[in-house]
Amino acid sequence: MKPDKKTSDKSALLLYGVHAVRQAWLNPERRCTRLLLTDSGKEAFAATLAEAQKLGLSKRPQPQIVPKDQLDRLLPGAVHQGIVLDANPLPDTEIEDVLRAAETKLSSCIVVLDQVTDPHNVGAILRSAAAFGALAVVLPDRNAPPLTGVLAKTASGAADIVPLVRVGNLSQALDALREGGFWTVGFAESGKSTLAEVDLSGKIALVMGAEGEGMRRLTMERCDLIVRLPTHPPIGSLNVSNAAAVALYEVARRIPVT
């Protein structure tokens, strides 16, 4: 990721919850403007504050201790755990940045999402991507959720670990990945082969569509191979975030990404 790259959206972002705020607070690329803690949140976040000091992140703002009902009013219905961070979005990551990061790697994995609009699904996929060492999660600018506090909370800190790459044209992004040496593997119930039956060595882009609609035609045409995850009747398919977790595990299990 280029440190001097500007973000496309300068509006503030409210992050909340222990894990999401911890990773943001410890991320030197994340500009933090205000940290709100309840008494219980201060206790839960004390180790993170100490770790930030050891890492030299001394320019972080001093925490403000506030009553719980203030955070409840700020984020109605959210499970904030007494911890809320007012921060700026991270610098944009482009598909070219991901390709450069993969150049020196013998094996790597990327997740590409088509028409996945639920922020909980995208957040869960980010979390799995971080857990299994994926380089990035790629999704279109349009018809995809923005990186909000809800998405970041679901990602449990992974939003500050794995880049969420937004592209104007998903088909062109897949072409760029293929030109960069990635084998594009799409997922659909119509796949003749199962994921376990295909070669997952080298650089792999796992391409997944939304539940019901699946991948769009142009997206599917850009895939080198269409596979399926075998399920037992009457269940024909998994939720997209569950399918991504299974696929990422299978890639990491056979050829650990480096």
- Convert the pLDDT of each residue in 170-221 to its tens digit: 999 999 999 999 999 999 988 999 999 999 989 999 999 987 778 999 999 9
The CA distance from 156 to 107, in Å, is 26
The CA distance from 188 to 192, in Å, is 9
Q: Which two tokens stand for residue 89?
A: 């979005």
Nearest in space to 180 (alpha carbons), one of 147, 202, 153, 161: 202
Residue 7 has pLDDT above 90, yes or no: no
The CA distance from 158 to 152, in Å, is 7
pLDDT of the residue at 257: 59
Q: Please state the rounded mean pLDDT for residues 117-137.
A: 96
Residue 11 has pLDDT above 60, yes or no: no
Residue 10 has pLDDT above 50, yes or no: no
DSSP letter (8 states) at residue 160: G
Average pLDDT, the chain: 91
Q: Please state the rounded mean pLDDT for residues 223-245.
A: 90
The CA distance from 145 to 113, in Å, is 11
Q: Please state the rounded mean pLDDT for residues 102-123.
A: 94
For the chain, domains (ranges, CATH) are: 13-87 (3.30.1330), 95-254 (3.40.1280.10)
Looking at the chain, the number of H-run helices and the number of E-run strands are 9, 11
Q: What is the pTM of this model?
A: 0.90
Bridge partners, 213 (sequence order): none
Say which residue the tokens 């320019």 belong to: 59
Question: Which own/partner pairs from 41-45 qualify as long-range (CB within 8 Å, at least 24 positions apart)?
Answer: 41/80, 41/81, 41/82, 41/83, 42/82, 44/18, 44/81, 44/82, 44/83, 45/18, 45/21, 45/83
pLDDT more than 70, % of the chain: 94
